[in-house]
Structure 1
Amino acid sequence: MSLHSVLTTLLSLYLIHASIVELANSSMDPYKALNIILNPNGTLTRLNPIPQSPPSPDPTLPTPALSKDLTINQSKHTWARIYLPHNALHNSPNSKLPLIVFYHGGGFILYSAASTYFHDFCVSLANNTRSVVVSVEYRLAPEHRLPAAFEDSVEALHWIKTSNDPWLTRHVDYSRCYLMGESAGGNIAYNAGLRAAAEVHQIKPLQIRGLVLIQPFFGGTKRTPSELRLAEDKTLPLPITDLMWNLSLPVGVDRDYEYSNPTVKGGAKALDQIRLLGWRCAVFGVEGDPLVDRERELVKLLEHKSVHVVGQFYEGGRHGIFIGDPSMSQKVFDLVKSFH
């Protein structure tokens, strides 16, 4: 081993040790940082009002995409916000559009399909990719721990195939469906995809063609180098990710459970079905995100399973940048259009 390699290894070990020490000494209260209170009955009080946007179904308004809310399951309080490109409103019945089913982020515990942050992204997504977008409002943890969000997400697919809403029946090409999610939503899209691949005949005429995972939220009991390097990251520090997992995973399991770590036991058996179905998958990440090593591990797993996957990784950045930065959002839009 060269002197340069030895010095690089020693520096890496020093940085990891320093990060561990910093994390152990961290005085961060993740509850305070997220402005949430865990109640004795296991529910959360969410003190920080997250800005929300109403749907915009009026075709006379100058919005790039129309939107409206429809109930999926009244007893579970799940619903969907549908986005239709404004200029597709008067398409002929033969001009069908691809369908993107979108799952919002928020660590499984925060945000909504109505949150302005995700609403604005879905408007741009529908408009830029000329797709109908269905953004799913799934149940949040800890009131409804995983796999509740996965179950809601698959139920949304069954709801789409049976809905008689004209925005779907008139404008959607059911043979071109993609599942997309950001952060925790990326995890949901992946796990919903695994479940949907196992029941392809039950969701017909819906045909899923691929997954688009934007900085998907995965974890494990052993820290990755990027988690340790960015342990005190201002956007997504380790105490916050740890809390999100503690509040969302089934009681009694650790972060090496299949819901959080897709690499356990060599990966899900359903990946073989995804390969056989010919799905195309994309994983987006940036080096400034503590989750980036997890995302690279996922790409390697998919490659090992011979699944068609593209890893799109960029220097710098932060967690959430593909939603919050229009220039980075465009990279997602461009890839989606290439999938079409």
Structure 2
Amino acid sequence: MSETQAISDPYASLGLIKNSDGSFTRIAAIYDSTAACPDPPISVPILTKDVSINPQNNTWARLYLPRSKIQSSTKLPLILFFHGGGFIVASAASSFFQSFCSDIALHLNALMVSVDYRNAPEHRLPAGYDDCMEALLWLKSGDEWINDHADLSNCYIMGNSAGGNIALRVGLQASRRVVELAPVRIRGLILHQPFLGGVERTASEIRLAEDEIIPLYLADILWDLALPIGANRDHEFSNPYKGLVEVDKIVSEGWRILVSGYEGDSLIDRQMELAKWLKGKGVVVVEDFREGGSHGIEFFDQSFARALYPVLKNFILDV
């Protein structure tokens, strides 16, 4: 589909049809998905299983455990992961998130918990935030793998793209609920290419307005579908600076935040500004901004994925 065709029917590329009453109908899954593999062949180094979080909302999580650790008494760091997709498409079952989480669990020797939250426009924000916060609280419920293999005193909240945005919002809420979360103890947030927005255009958005991965018109549509009805891109869900978001509890808890991205991403200016803004608020920020790349490059070029894993490992080991 050409950009001209996409703009004339902007929802088609998201697998949506806009109805005359303003509602939307999903006509296609944009990304393929993989079935859970609770008992994979012995040659597969990662074990997975799916667990229900809230049956009423149909939210669940896919857990990833290195096979080599199944008989080990050593507890592993736990990474609660939120997938990307502009809040609109994809799921924890999308095949590239399956591969991404498997590789992270393997390279970092960590237990990954990848959350499947409700998508907009059927469920606009803050539904996704609420689902992911519920998943964080769910970690206390006593799943067998978590009980046996996770070090609940060494937990991280991670997300890429829209998931990075969610990780920030859930982290902000969690920092005010540390007593309720115990024995789960958050050590830091990992915001990889977080999806942010604003009414005023940045230089990178203008420079990469026709980007193949996330062109400017598509980013605007995603926000229009995800934000509460009537809100614009300066809403605090999209633009944390305009929302006067308070990070004082993150500072007092001593959490660190990793913000990472690539210059070829149209959102890079907003990501770098987020890191600067957090630092100005007193947060301990680790930055990893690199030349080249694009939004979601790890899913298209494994060399970028391989370069990311040591960054994540160093961040988690530096406790």
TM-score, normalization by structure 1? 0.88
Question: Which residue of 234, 254, 271 maps to 2:212?
Answer: 234
SS, match of residue 179 in structure 2: coil
**Over aligned residue pairs, what C-alpha RMSD do you find?**
1.7
Aligned pairs (5 A) from 1:171-250: 171-250=149-228
Contact 2:14 2:89 in 1 (8 A): no
Matching residue of 2:233? 255
Residue identity opposite 2:116 in structure 1? E
Matching residue of 1:325? 301
User: 1:281, 1:70 → 2: CA distance?
Assistant: 28
Aligned pairs (5 A) from 1:63-102: 63-92=44-73, 95-102=74-81
Matching residue of 1:4? none
Matching residue of 2:105? 126
TM-superposed deviation, 1:28: 5.2
Contact 1:117 1:324 in 2 (8 A): no
Give yes or no for the alignment of 1:299 onto 2:264: no
Unaligned runs of 5+ in 1: 1-22
Contact 1:197 1:273 in 2 (8 A): yes
Contact 2:118 2:131 in 1 (8 A): yes
Residue identity opposite 1:239 in structure 2? Y
SS, match of residue 56 in structure 2: helix
User: 1:149, 1:229 → 2: CA distance?
Assistant: 30
* C-alpha distance after superposition, 1:177-235 (max 9, x if no partner): 00110100000011010111111111110011011111100000000010011111111
Moved over 6 A (4+): none
Residue identity opposite 2:62 in structure 1? R
Residue identity opposite 2:301 in structure 1? D
Give yes or no for the alignment of 1:107 onto 2:83: no
Question: Which residue of 316, 322, 328 maps to 2:292?
Answer: 316
Give yes or no for the alignment of 1:337 onto 2:317: no
TM-superposed deviation, 1:137: 0.5
Residue identity opposite 1:331 in structure 2? A
Higher RCO (C-alpha 8 Å, min separation 6):
1
Question: Which residue of 4, 9, 25 maps to 1:44?
Answer: 25
Matching residue of 1:7? none
Q: 1:81 to 1:28 in 2, by over 3 A?
A: same
Residue identity opposite 1:57 in structure 2? P
SS, match of residue 119 in structure 1: helix
Give yes or no for the alignment of 1:168 onto 2:149: no
Residue identity opposite 1:153 in structure 2? C
Matching residue of 1:5? none
Aligned pairs (5 A) from 1:277-292: 277-292=253-268
TM-superposed deviation, 1:325: 2.6
SS, match of residue 293 in structure 2: coil
* C-alpha distance after superposition, 1:40-81 (max 9, x if no partner): 362331424521111122164322211010000000100000
TM-superposed deviation, 1:330: 2.6
Contact 2:15 2:30 in 1 (8 A): no
Matching residue of 1:62? 43
Identical counterparts, % of pairs: 47
Question: Which residue of 110, 115, 124 maps to 1:136?
Answer: 115
User: 1:332, 1:272 → 2: CA distance?
Assistant: 29
